[in-house]
Amino acid sequence: MKGVQRETDIEYRSDADSAGVNDPQTGGRRHFGGAVPGNAQACAGGPYADLKKARSLKWFSQLQEQMIPDRFRQFEKFLASAGVDPNSQVDELAWGLVAEGLSAKTEGTGSKDVPTGEEIVGVALGTYNPNSTEAFFKQQKLPTFKARGYTLYAFGTGSGSNDLFFFFIDSNTAAFGHRAILEKMIEVHFGSEEGLLRNDKLFPLINEANGSGVVWAVLNPAYTRLAMQQLAPEVGQFPEAAKLVARMQNMIINVDASSGIDGKFQAVCGSTEDANTLGQLLQAGFLYKRYQAQKDNPDLAQLLDQARVTPAGDRVMLRMSLSDDQMTSLIRKNTFALKM
């Protein structure tokens, strides 16, 4: 991926609050969370997907229907209408979410609330021809607005509350999302808004997750609670689970794939004691789920049997591995339909 060269561009470096140039201070790894405004703390520094690598996996086309945001698929169709082929021209994707249905008090630890909706901002890295694409959109007389010299194009009428916009940062970078967040994203570059990479709590976790895996993500407390509901609903059956989950700080997700898939999920708990207890509850919950799945979903039962839960300090680490055949079977059963 080529970097942004001009000082006036929205660069993606940790020291410029942006999202995709190799950063020598972090071993050449990319930072995708910096361009995301500081209030988009739902999924900091990701989720990130290496689409170029993922497309080489035979099961990815089915998996992306379950994991890639619907808003990105809208963006793909929008680009395709202008002659851009997302399957060959978009290589990497990162997105952040601004949760709805939460207050400043309930989005953090100590709450049981989870997001009821969200707005999105995303960055798609690849190879584009901004001049020809923008010329096409001008011919279509799409609704537009200007922000700091950038032209943002509307997917729809441009006036609806759920309408999405996009703009080219340069020939390698396109951004999409809701207008208000895109405007803040631009302001991050000009120093008028704080980016996620200035967040002292999240930056070390972003730095830890960044650069490892086809997919990686760092979740804030509210989305950590939501992920626990989706990934391990059986844990919620235990009376003490609610308080443990409410005290959880973050979740780090790393997924790598070649001939199969290796997943690592790290839950950052409120204390070492919480981590030890959560580890025990996860093991008990997986045992119960495995028993339930033996008849109707033997591949899931085998996955749960192979899963390894290991408390370490204030974290609980869950590791699991799948073959390509197992992955294909589980996708058919909609196992990975996570909303993130």
- At 278-288, the pLDDT tens digits run 999 999 999 98
Residue 229 neighbours by CB distance under 10 Å: 14
Smallest CA-to-CA distance from 169 within 207, 134, 199, 215 is with 134
Judged on CB neighbours under 10 Å (0-12, 13-18, 19+), 294 is middle
Residue 5 is assigned to a structural domain of this protein: no
Whole-number Å distance between alpha carbons of 231 and 233: 6
How far out from the chain centre does Cα 83 lie?
Answer: 27
Which pLDDT score is estimated for 128? 93
Residue 127 is assigned to a structural domain of this protein: yes
The predicted model gives 110-133 an average pLDDT of 85
Question: Is the distance from CB of 25 to CB of 203 less than 8 angstroms?
Answer: no
How many structural domains is the chain composed of? 1
Quick one: what percent of the chain has pLDDT higher than 90?
A: 21
pTM of the full structure: 0.81
Query: Does the structure show a pLDDT above 90 at 126?
Result: yes
Residue range of the domain that includes 63: 22-332
Question: Is the distance from CB of 196 to CB of 44 less than 8 angstroms?
Answer: yes
